[in-house]
A and B are shown apart, each in its own frame.
Chain A
Amino acid sequence: MASLGASQVVRMLVNGTPAERPVQARTTLADFLRDDLDLTGTHIGCGHGVCGACTVLLDGETVRSCLLLAVQADGHEITTVEGLAGEDGALHVAQRAFSEEHGLQCGFCTPGLLMTTAELLGDDVRLSRPEIRERISGHLCRCTGYQNIVNAVESAIALHREGAVGG
């Protein structure tokens, strides 16, 4: 008979809010976010770390939440798509840019791409289109053909450099 596995308590800061929950050792961070915290904006497209839909930020760096266990995120700071906009609801530059450039269609891969875009917006980021394509090549999108996503990332970088709100 299969064991359900022992559970342990994890504590993390998710989108600025402390979360403390018992989880099974085998629970992925993606399932923890979606099922335990009801943060369903993080999507699971492949479950084996290729499609990138489940990408979130762990201490500011992108991780595949389907390949990370919730217990591995214990004590860390997690940002999901729900945490990108400002507290006043002002959209993050990546969110604005994806919408303005039609960088999404069905929206399923979008949260992961937004997190990768948010990560690459360093202080003095300058990326050519081929470099942007390389940076987002860990994300699969079936709808857009990527072109408008590249446009959106370019636009997000420009907005960020202009110091727009949310950057």
Chain B
Amino acid sequence: MAESILPPRTVGTPLPRKEDARFVTGRGRYTGDLKLPGMLHAAAVRSPYAHARIVSIDASAALAVEGVVGFFSARELAGKVRPFPEPAIRDLNPRIHALIDLEIKSQAMEPLPTERVLWVGEPVAYVVAEDPSVAEDAAELVAVDYDPLPAVATVEDALAEGAPLVHPELGSNVQQTWGAASGDVDAAIARAPHVLDVRLTMGRMAANAMEPRGLLADYDAGRGELRIWSTVIRPHLLREIVSEMLDMPTDSVRCMGPDIGGSFGSGMFHEEAMIPFLARELGRPVRWIEDRQENLLNTRHCRDQQHDVTVGFDDDGVILGLRDSFRADFGAHNHYAITVSYNVASHFRGPFKIDDFAIDCTGVLTNKAPVAPVRGAGRPEAAFVMDRVVDLIADELGIDPIDVRRRNLLRPEEMPHEMGIPYRDTKTIVYDRSDFPAQLEAALDLVDLQHWRGRQAEQRETPWRIGIGVSSLIEGSGVGPHEGAIVRVDDAGAVSVVTGAQPHGQGLETTLAQVVADQLCVDPEIVTVRPTDTAAIQHGVGTFASRSAVTAGNAVAAAAAKLREKIVAVAGAVLEVDPNDLEVVDGRVQVKGSPQSGLTLTEVAHAARPGPGCRVPAGMAPGLEEQHYYVPPTVTWASGTQVAVVEVDVETGFVKLLDYASVDDCGQMLNPMIVRGQIHGGIVHGIGNAMFEEARYDEDGQFLTSTYMDYLMPTAADVPDIKVGHQAHHSELNPLGVKGVGEGGAVSPPAAIANAVVDALRPLRVRIDRVPIRPEDVLAAIRQAEA
């Protein structure tokens, strides 16, 4: 049955958020707020070395502390926990290997290290105690004797002849290589009148959700069941990992989402197996809550790429061919196969028409924390490199960079546009309808380019130079394989929604309620979107990769539309009216045009109850509940253009943001207030990436930024008000016409700000080849340009 999707009614309106009432009154329930009777607390013993052999572990002093109930290192696990699975490698479409010449090596992570530690912060053991402070005290008393080994902390070191190997069994520190190409890039560059070679680097940053990670696990020994509440944003994947590693039936592991204080990325972490294991082993609930130092050391690092670009272009700055060869520093494990690395290829060219293009990747293992997909996940790297290259072309030719952009943009009449390389789902990338030139002009108007060009000229002779920089982004969004939804009308006439897309701050309790309300013709007020519970829906994927508006949105829309049709059918049977003559209006089923007739949803729900009185027509299951798994054909392509205006103090190197504008195209907006919130937050995340944040290591792999005094997050005083505009070219790839928007904001700031800094310092031809851009980097660039 192809359900019919009704047009938007509350969708597209700024409905206030349903979640806020509990959050502003302190009644949110995050993992660290949950308590169970008899609950124990775990604390980790972590490696202080980037690379070392574990000689011995002596826990006797820890075990002697009053209140300590258990100690577990690899030895105590003694075969009770299997190694971490590698779902991302396993789930790769087998055809992708041939399409991009992919060589990828497996590097299964042990539940806890047996012989060697591979990065600073890797857990070696857990202490469990009656009280969290006792657990932490005791963890400090665990004496681990390490034999330090040479470490590799950069891709250069890791790829050097004779480098120490992170995983000796792999034979090298290269975890993956691949290449993708469209057209004939060699020929295009060979015939280009101008060729530039440039190296660009993006430093490592960390996701920094404000809620540290945490898990609470409870084992029911009588039933053999585990219940887990956690900050893991993919409850169904957690269920799969735990059931595999602890050898339990899948449905004996039940994972539930409490409130989650942000995530901004995924990851696979030891605690996700260890805390459930400890609860089962000790027969008592066990909770673990990360502290910020552990978070900065270990949780969701990202970026850390070095790109070498060769670009050929003509006298007008039109790009004829571009080759990018990059190295990605994955840290000690890459749990995400090609998710981040290949995103660079998929998104590299942004809105530009570059038919002759090639890109290749060498993914390298080092003695640093494993990287994870974090807000943008390859897109900020791509945009930074591509947009700096556009700027450098302009610089080379003495043309305004904005004009070079204009000359290279795909035209509206060229859309949808086939990009000549596959997405990682193997489908050839075809950009959705969009109007990139209009988007650029709209963003320039929003920031008032002429005003700032005037100010720039006025301040040219002062130490406070003004610059304008632009970056464009595209955002493959709504990745599959699916998302599931169940929509139900209960006996009181209220609507309940369950999906696999566990929210962590995005406002899905509101946006999905709007979608359901429109399809059921009810008030969003009566629709409650429940947290994800793997016992409530068999399959689910999760909220990440700008996917939930697209995948969960269309899943709940289809389930609700099916349910509306069922409601009408049941009401037709009760009223003895042809269902085609019925409509649902504001929660009542009535004969079209006769508001006095009809049934309430409660009456229909009662008529649908199983039993002798059930009035559900033959061929339909009893009960007012429908389920739908939405399977996207491939990703949708959202886009955006951002303009940064900076003031650079040439005496101090300090960069101040004066103005910032963004125009996005995320298709049909579910709730424009929430879309703008996503854009604001993403942009400031990207500003951190551009100017402040870096997860730094020294040459020995020692971590240098483990507090917020060393790792700088952007504050309210560091950022300007952001002007936001929208285009809305509805996607033709899904019934709601939506495109994802969660990551787009974070993609362009590094490129836009780097370009703006360079623009501010013209006519000095400063090189800003790396982000984050610190004041000392600006001063060094000025000195280098003057030399």
Contact = CB atoms under 8 A, between A and B. Distances in A.
Contacts of A95: 24-25
Contact of A110 (B24, B291, B709): B24
B684 interface: yes
A139 B261 contact: no
A99 B21 contact: yes
B716 A99 contact: no
Interface string B22-57: 111111111011000000000000000000000000
Contact of A142 (B22, B61, B138, B681): B681
Nearest to A98: B24
Contacts of B61: 1
Given A139-B716, A145-B722, A147-B722, A51 B137 contact: no
Interface in B715-763: 715-719, 721-722, 745
Contacts of B21: 99
A105 B677 contact: yes
Given A46-B707, A148-B677, 12 more contacts: A4-B67, A98-B24, A104-B20, A105-B677, A109-B210, A137-B718, A142-B209, A142-B262, A142-B264, A146-B684, A146-B715, A147-B722
Interface of A: 1-2, 4, 24, 26-27, 31, 34, 39-48, 50-51, 53, 80-82, 84-85, 91, 95, 98-100, 102, 104-111, 114, 129-130, 132-134, 136-150
A149 B716 contact: yes
A43 B735 CA distance: 40
B26 A111 contact: yes
Q: Helix, strand, loop or mixed for chain A's interface?
A: loop
A78 to B, nearest CB: 13
B530 to A, nearest CB: 17
A1 B64 contact: yes
8 contacts: A34-B33, A102-B17, A104-B23, A105-B677, A106-B260, A110-B24, A145-B745, A147-B719
B552 interface: no
B677 A99 contact: no
Interface string B492-533: 000000000000111100000000000000000000000000
Contacts of B719: 145-147
A47 B291 contact: yes
B584 interface: no
B218 interface: no
Given A105-B262, A142-B681, A99 B24 contact: yes
A141 B210 contact: yes
Given A26-B133, A95-B24, A102-B673, A43 B211 contact: yes
B674 interface: yes
Given A51-B210, A105-B262, A107-B23, A143 B716 contact: no
Contact of B708 (A24, A50, A132): A50
B87 interface: no
Contacts of B470: none
A100 B676 CA distance: 14
A108 B263 CA distance: 11
A143 B673 contact: no
Interface centre among A39, A105, A132 (most CB of B within 10 A): A105
B32 A147 contact: no
Contacts of A46: 292, 707-708
Interface string B673-696: 110110111111100000000000
Contact of A108 (B30, B65, B133): B30
Contacts of B261: 43, 45, 106-109
Interface string B60-74: 010011110000000
Contacts of A107: 19-20, 22-24, 28, 259, 261, 505
A149 B684 CA distance: 13
Contact of A145 (B32, B208, B210, B682): B682
A140 B708 CA distance: 10
Given A43-B211, A129-B721, A114 B709 contact: no
A80 B722 contact: no
B285 interface: no
A12 to B, nearest CB: 17
B141 interface: yes
A144 B681 contact: yes
B333 to A, nearest CB: 24
B212 A45 contact: yes
Given A51-B210, A105-B505, A110 B64 contact: no
B16 interface: yes
A106 B684 CA distance: 16
B502 to A, nearest CB: 12
B262 A81 contact: no
Given A107-B259, A108-B261, A1 B65 contact: yes
Contacts of A108: 28, 30, 209-211, 261-262, 505
Contacts of A102: 16-17, 673-674, 676-677
B260 A146 contact: no
Contacts of A104: 20, 23-24
Contacts of B264: 142
Contacts of B382: none
A2 B138 contact: yes
Contacts of A146: 680, 684, 715-716, 719
Interface string B112-123: 000000000000
